[in-house]
Amino acid sequence: MTILAVLLLLPAVLGDSRYLFSVLMNCMGLSLIALGVWLTFTIGRTNICQAGFALIGGYATAIFLAHYHMNFWLALPLSALVAASAGAVIGSFILKLRGIYFSMLTISLTEAIRLAFLNGGDFTQGSRGITDLPQPFGDSVFGLYYLALALLGFGLLLTWRIHYSRVGRIFRAMRLNEDLAESFGTHVWRYRVIAFSVACGLGGLGGSYFAVFTQSIYPQSFSVEHSIYYMLFCFLGGLEFVSGGIVGAFVLTILFELLSQFQQYQTLIYGGLMIAVILLLPNGLMAMTLRRKEVRA
Amino acid sequence: MSAPILEARHVTKRFGGLMANEDINLTLTAPVGQVVSVIGPNGAGKSTLFKMLAGYLKPSSGQILLHGQTITGMSPHRIARLGLVRTFQETTVFPDLTAMEHVSLAHQLHREAHDLEVIFGLPRARGDEIRLSESAREILELMELGAVADTEARHLPQGLLRLLGMAMGLAARPQVLLLDEPYAGLNPDETTRAVNITRKVAASGVSILLVEHDMKAVMAISDRIHVLYFGKKIAEGTPEEIRLDPAVIEAYLGKEDEELGL
Ligand SMILES: Nc1ncnc2c1ncn2[C@@H]1O[C@H](COP(=O)(O)OP(=O)(O)OP(=O)(O)O)[C@@H](O)[C@H]1O
Ligand SMILES: [Mg+2]
């Protein structure tokens, strides 16, 4: 919440440093996508296909805008809906799997979705991608910045409401013991699909945002590597906290910007960092704030 | 005799070459809460039978009827909706939720609000919460857990957690409750208390089928007892009849006499 408030006021302070804006906008978009991965964690599934659904959302927006000249404000929610529906259909088949089997399958799913767009013929324009997408706010950075903020706020609110409602508790019950949850009448399959579909919808929303942010979409815009990063964001921030994925996305993205001269070592740095976090902070960065609060109380 | 509420007909379960259940017949009558026990040595097939009744395993052959309607092969949540609920031996509970929150959560089948209304906290969902927490409180009182309603599960002793598991089962408002070893790991005082509470639950109109190794408890609580031995039912009758049944004594021969409460 505090983060959102700060982000709301930040533009006034930053003036018009395009670089800083684009870093923050990047963070917000990635956070939105990572929220979906976080939500899939709450039903006890490690989701490594979120990049695939971001790609679906991104391509949906690009196709709506470039081929059908649709209004962006219609294309945005529609793209999220497309991703969510695709998630519901695919999820209803794959969510039976658990643990490593589910994760491995989702990795291949990311790749399968990428290949589908790569070989989509004229419609997706193969590896050339769809470019020169119109920007809804013309030249103004502020417009896109506040769009990202609004989308992130919406995503956070939705995830928050789900997590702290009876539905979120059902999700958690399923994570702890699906048989127990089913014993008192929970339609486990249905709730798994709901969680996954909302998660994919958030991924699609993020993908749609990035498509207009970068004014383009390519098959390699979102790949397996990205899917893995989104998962790492959640681990880093903390799986027990709704804001975990967001905190992780900001910390890792900003950290990487600061270390940009070491670009060739990116994966190495990420890897080392992740090992350190998992060893030293198994519950993520957000757990540190909790511990401090407990000490104070 | 009144009509059976739950009926297993010639139920058989094979795991590869192993006959875990062979041609099991069993009935539970309604409407008075009857307590029927299934006993038998380790590996006799008791849990397997329960899993089939509750939909967690598919029988290899045979039929299971609830209210005369066949439920063979249905998924557990549908069977729960039709009024048959099982509890678990290991009640994996949420350490940070209170007893009250557990039972309220288990009311999944009895809310009116749609999931979307729940997520956005609309009036019907809030109405549900009030109604369901009242119902949860009643169940906790029945289970004699009223005093710990607001205690988090991680602070509850094993004996109370077992009762909490049963309370969660009741939240689905079943007509038939299956309890798999509800008294295992309890000390004699806790067992006596849990047995009395089980009786109360049955008297409130829930028919109970239970698996239990504690013979004293089984003899005290059961209206009828079925004995399984290597997947076959070797005897059925009142506690008195079972105590004197030669086949049962034979099956338990070699064990300490006290196990049968002789
Ligand atoms: N999923 C399974 N696959 C293969 N064999 C199984 C399976 N489940 C149970 N069995 C076997 O079936 C037999 C009956 O097991 P079951 O768990 O029903 O016994 P039980 O009467 O509940 O025993 P206990 O008193 O120890 O709980 C055992 O020999 C067991 O090894
Ligand atoms: Mg057993």
pLDDT at B93: 77
pTM: 0.87
Q: Is the pLDDT assigned to residue A293 strictly greater than 80?
A: no
Q: Return d(Cα B225, Cα B210) in angstroms, integer.
A: 9
Ligand 1 nearest-atom number relative to CA B21: 14
- The more confident residue out of B148 and B95 is B148
Ligand 1 nearest-atom number relative to CA B48: 18
pLDDT at A11: 67
pLDDT at B262: 47
pLDDT at A296: 43
pLDDT in tens, A19-44: 888 888 999 999 999 999 999 999 99
pLDDT at A291: 56
- Is A66 domain-assigned? yes
Give me the interface pTM, i.e. the ipTM. 0.85
Q: Return d(Cα B255, Cα A190) in angstroms, integer.
A: 48
How many CA atoms within 13 Å lie on the side-chain side of B16? 0
Distance B152 CA to ligand 2 centre (A): 28
Number of domains, chain A: 1
pLDDT at A202: 97
Distance B180 CA to ligand 2 centre (A): 7
Task: Tell me which chain B residues have a C-beta less than 8 angstroms from the C-beta of A188.
Answer: 77
Q: Is the pLDDT assigned to residue B258 strictly greater than 70?
A: no
- Is A113 domain-assigned? yes
Q: Closest Cα to residue A179, out of B177, B91, B98? A: B91
**Between chains, do B81 and A173 touch, taking CB under 8 Å as contact?**
no
| Banded pLDDT at A16 (limits 50, 70, 90) | low
Closest CA in chain A for residue B178: A183
pLDDT at A50: 95
pLDDT in tens, A117-162: 998 877 888 888 888 888 888 777 788 888 999 999 999 999 999 9
Residue listed under structure tokens 């008297």: B203
Distance A174 CA to ligand 2 centre (A): 23
- Is A253 domain-assigned? no
Return the structure tokens found at B185. Answer: 């790991």
User: Ligand 1: which residues within 6 Å by Cβ?
Assistant: B 15, 18, 20, 40, 42-48
Query: What is the b/e burial string over A37-73, where b = at least 16 CB atoms within 10 angstroms of the residue's CB?
Result: bbbbbbbbbbbbbbbbbbbbbbbbbbbbbbeeebebe
- Is A291 domain-assigned? no
Amino acid present at B85: V
Residue with CA closest to ligand 1 atom 9: B48
- Is A180 domain-assigned? yes
- Is A274 domain-assigned? no
- Is A98 domain-assigned? yes
Do residues A266 and A282 touch, judged by C-beta distance below 8 A?
no
Q: Is the pLDDT assigned to residue A208 strictly greater than 50?
A: yes
**Between chains, do B119 and A161 touch, taking CB under 8 Å as contact?**
yes
- Is A139 domain-assigned? yes
Structural domain of A68: 2-223
**Between chains, do B119 and A167 touch, taking CB under 8 Å as contact?**
yes
Q: Is the pLDDT assigned to residue B64 strictly greater than 90?
A: yes
Q: Is the pLDDT assigned to residue B1 strictly greater than 70?
A: no
pLDDT at A83: 96
